[in-house]
Chain A
Amino acid sequence: MKFKSFMTMSMVAVALVFGMSSCGDDDKDEPEAPVANQVVGSYTGTEVLTVMGEADESTETFEFTKATDVSVDVTLPKYGESMMTVPALPVKGITLTKSGNTITGKLDKYEGTVISADGSEKAYTVSDVTVIFNDKTVVMTFTQKYGNMPFAFEGVFTGAKK
């Protein structure tokens, strides 16, 4: 309920701002930029990857790039060191919808291949992706499966736009 109240207040504030501005004699209605344009950029923050109940936390930068007016791509940063590495994994086609100040991105599943540290091609999937952008803040949840790794990584990223 508190979140709903916050959303309501935010929407009222937005409506007031736009309402006031639209009353100005000299102002013209300018079309809102596509949602993708509103969220693209670099976000730096904390990524937590959990596998079998063990969580590993690191500071990472997620770069969201425009795919279409209503979708973005992102690359999950590489994980691990030297040979013990999951390479950076592109995730494409996260569909965006806007509600008030909040833009939400969803993607059921993305399947791709990537070159691993030893030079071989590995398949991966990133599924159950949810991204929420609000003001300069982003949170993202996802499930990542790489190659023949027996376990999935459950990922959470919380970051702020540079």
Chain B
Amino acid sequence: MKLFGSAILLFMPAMGLSAQGIRDSVELEPVVVTASHTPKTLKDAPVVTRLITLHDIKIVDATNIQDMLTQEIPGLEFGFAMTQETSLNMSGFGGNAVLFLLDGERLSGETMDNTDYSRLNLDNVGRIEIVKGASSALYGSNAVGGVVNIISRENLEPWTANANTRYNTFGNEWRNGASFSFNTEKWNSQTSFQHTKIDPVDLPKAHTSEEIAIELMKKAQGLPYDESVLSDDSNISRLFGQKTYNIKERLTFRATDRLTLIGRGGYFFRTSERDTYDYHFHAYSGGLKGRFAWDAGRHLELSYAYDQYDKANFLPDGTRTHDHDYSNQQHVAHALYSHSFGKNNLILGVDYMHDHLTTYQFLDNASHAQDNIDGYAQFDWNITDRLNVVGSIRYDYFSASARKAFTERLAVVYKIPWMTLRVNYASGFRAPTLKEMYMHFDMGNMGYMIIGNPDLEPEKSHNFNLAIERTNRIRNSGFLDGRYNFTLMGYCNIFDKRITTIEGPEYNGMESALYWNDEGITVWGIDASLGHIWDCGASFKLNYSWMKETGNVYYSDFYQPRSHSLTWRIGYEHRFSRLYALDAALSGRCQGKPQSGRTDVDQGYTIWKLMLQHHLWRGIRLNTAIDNLFNYKPKSYYYSSPLTTGTSFNIGLSVDLDQLL
């Protein structure tokens, strides 16, 4: 912490600085949509919303959502699930209890209960909104621990074109991308392409296999030996190499002043080079949306979205094995009507989703499908200029299980001159997936069955939170003159009927695990954030999260939540001349020790990152970064270790061709 304090002091005297990303979130003027399904300024959002701005995305130079959130959100950690697929833990909730949306649309498929986060690259992303806690009354299943909504950018210049490349020494990673957009009176098009490639990374072990063998030989011969060499707690020795290709297109047609049509499409491919097989992942997405506005106060949205996610295994010689084929397709139709009555607003919505899954994990590679129908209503009642009440109710029905779920939310915002008070109750649920209902899988052909349970009930949560927020300007105080924002939120999330596996019945002489609704947990937490922009231009933000689980808590190698975590960023931006401007940020994250009390792995860690973005002539940017500035190395690698082998370096080049030509 002394180091952190010193770093702040070092950056404070920066002259003529600004940091647009921090400024946006401190001044609370940007518009957000996730908390209420309707555009509201950040300061008026009924639930505390964490905003990651376009500037944040650019300065962090993150490749995908995982890189971005890791650096920005405390209480959030990405680790590994089985098969070394990425797994999320956010304030006590796993990846299947946090809903990721792309422009408000769900993504199909999962990898070990998690979205394939590498699909969510940040090319052409304008902002990311994060609402922690339950939001099922608006978004349905999976919005239990939070919603992360990734919102595309819509360039308004006549045309833009960008080409970019970046090299990272960690795994010799290359990222190459290109984007193009045009904008006319009627048409707006955004196209982006990204390719990434990372080599396998051998994680250093505390001792080589030869050193271990030598000590073993001494032990076998009755000679003195070093026991510490024989006890290495690493579970992972190699990160697999992978390549991704991601192409997206979004086309908007403003047919009339009242009618707007949006079409979108995307293709994603990832190959992960494993020890025995190569895993191939494909995703196809497309959608159409129409928005008709009768007037400023009334509009109707109709949309259809398709998303497909496939997995298959290939032998090193390129032969597809077909023993691990997986395909998930989702069709979603959606209608939303919004009607404003003066300052008040009513939203009525209905959705239909058809979910179809074929997987090797079902008996005889069978397919299963389910329909989900829901209807919801929300009333946004501005009782006075200071008092706002937002109430939502929703009903969901799932055909395969014949289960239904009612969810509701009541959010109250009260503004008093010196602060804003938010009180919120929201319920959440997660419907059992087709996999959890119908799985019939001999895990790894080892004779250990995992059996689905069609009688599973939805997981259910009740989320209460109370937040205070203050935004103000300090004048005539000398050193502190500037604008600041402070938010403190306490929450309690009661999570019940958690779906997990228990020891199942013997199946054809084999042991089994059975999906089951288990007793739940209660998650208690506090989130605090502080941002300050000095009049001289310096700025910084600090986010802290504390979390504690009680009840039926269990830990595993894959689940090691930490009670305390912290992220921070100090920004610096200055134009030195017409030909050169510097945008700099020093950020860090600190994770506390595992809540489980586990002591055989690192008790906590701090990682710093220095990012320098050099704006050169006519839209040419040189991005450099030093990650893990102080060369932190885990003492052993397990599923919740940070993905680092020490300090790494980035260098990248981005060219805005429209400015160059």
B216 touches A158 (CB 8 A): yes
Q: Is B387 an interface residue (CB 8 A)?
A: no
0/1 interface trace, chain B 547-558, chain A, CB 8 Å (1 if under):
000000000010
- B444 near A148 with CB under 8 A, answer yes
In the complex, 12 of the A-B residue pairs with CB atoms within 8 angstroms, ordered by the A residue number, are A3-B214, A3-B218, A53-B235, A84-B446, A125-B275, A125-B276, A131-B213, A137-B221, A141-B212, A145-B276, A147-B276, A151-B235
Q: Least Cβ distance of A143 to chain B in Å?
A: 7
Q: Check: B277 CB closer than 8 A to any chain A CB.
A: yes
Question: Are A141 and B213 in contact, with the CB atoms below 8 A?
Answer: yes
Residues of A within 8 A of B221 (CB): 134-135, 137
Knowing that A116-B445, A150-B82 are A-B contacts, what are 12 other residue pairs whose CB atoms are under 8 Å apart, sorted by A's residue number? A85-B447, A117-B447, A118-B445, A123-B315, A127-B275, A128-B209, A130-B213, A132-B214, A135-B221, A149-B443, A149-B444, A152-B237
Contact call A158/B276, Cβ cutoff below 8 A: no
Question: Which chain B residues have a beta carbon within 8 Å of chain A's beta carbons?
Answer: 82-84, 208-210, 212-214, 216-221, 223-224, 233, 235, 237, 275-277, 313, 315-316, 323-324, 442-448, 508-511, 557
Q: Find out whether the CB atom of A53 lies under 8 angstroms from the CB atom of B237.
A: no
Show the binding face of A for B, using Cβ within 8 Å: 2-3, 6, 52-53, 80, 82-86, 102, 104, 106, 111, 116-118, 120, 122-125, 127-132, 134-135, 137, 139-143, 145-152, 156, 158
Interface-central residue, A53, A80, A116, A150, by most chain B CB under 10 Å = A150
Distance of A141 from chain B, by nearest CB (Å)? 4
Most chain B CB neighbours (cut-off 10 Å) among A130, A140, A152: A130
Asked whether, in the complex, the Cβ of A156 is within 8 Å of the Cβ of B82, the reply is: no
Bound complex: CA A122 to CA B313 (Å) = 12
Quick check: B446 and A141 within 8 Å, CB to CB? no
Chain A at the B interface: SS class: strand
Picked from B214, B275, B557, the residue with its CB within 8 Å of the CB of A152 is B275
Q: How far is the CB of B324 from chain A (nearest CB, A)?
A: 6
| Residue among B82, B213, B442, B447 with max Cβ neighbours from chain A (10 Å) | B213
Minimum CB–CB distance for A75 against chain B, Å:
18
> Which of A128, A145, A158 meets B220, CB within 8 Å?
A158
* B446 & A86 in contact (Cβ 8 Å cutoff): yes
Nearest Cβ on chain B to A29's Cβ, whole angstroms? 30
- Contact B277–A82 (Cβ < 8 Å): no
Contact of B233 among A6, A53, A85 (CB under 8 A): A53
Determine the chain A residues whose CB is within 8 A of the CB of B323 once the complex forms.
120, 148
A83 to B235, CA, bound (A): 26
Contacts of B237 in A (CB 8 A): 128, 143, 152
**Chain A residues whose CB sits within 8 angstroms of the CB of B220 once the complex forms:** 137, 139, 158
Query: Taking A6-B223, A53-B233, A111-B316 as contacts, is the C-beta distance between A140 and B446 under 8 angstroms?
Result: no
In the bound complex, CA of A132 to CA of B313 (Å): 36
Give the complex CA separation of A149 and B444 in angstroms: 4
Query: Which of A84, A85, A148 gathers most chain B CB within 10 Å?
Result: A148
Chain B residue at minimal CB-CB distance from A158: B220
Contact status A123-B276, CB under 8 Å: yes
Q: Which A residues are in CB contact (< 8 Å) with B223? A: 2-3, 6
Q: Do residues A149 and B214 form an inter-chain contact, with CB atoms below 8 A?
A: no
Write the nearest CB–CB distance from A19 to chain B, whole angstroms.
Answer: 25
Q: Which of A120, A131, A132, A149 contacts B446 (CB 8 A)?
A: A149
Chain A nearest CB: distance from B25 CB in Å?
A: 39
Query: A residues within 8 A CB of B316?
Result: 111, 123
Q: How far does the alpha carbon of A143 sit from the alpha carbon of B212 in the complex, in Å?
A: 13
A146 and B216 CA atoms in complex are apart in Å by 25
| Contact in complex: B447, A52 (CB < 8 Å) | no
- Chain B positions within 8 Å of A106 at CB level: 210
B221 shortest CB reach to chain A, Å: 6
Would B277 and A139 count as touching, CB distance under 8 A?
Answer: no
Pick the contact of B213 from A80, A120, A140 — CB < 8 Å? A140
Which of B217, B218, B313: most chain A CB closer than 10 A?
Answer: B217
A83 to B509 CA separation, bound complex (whole angstroms): 8
B363 CB to nearest A CB, Å: 15
Chain A proximity of B165: nearest CB distance (Å): 32
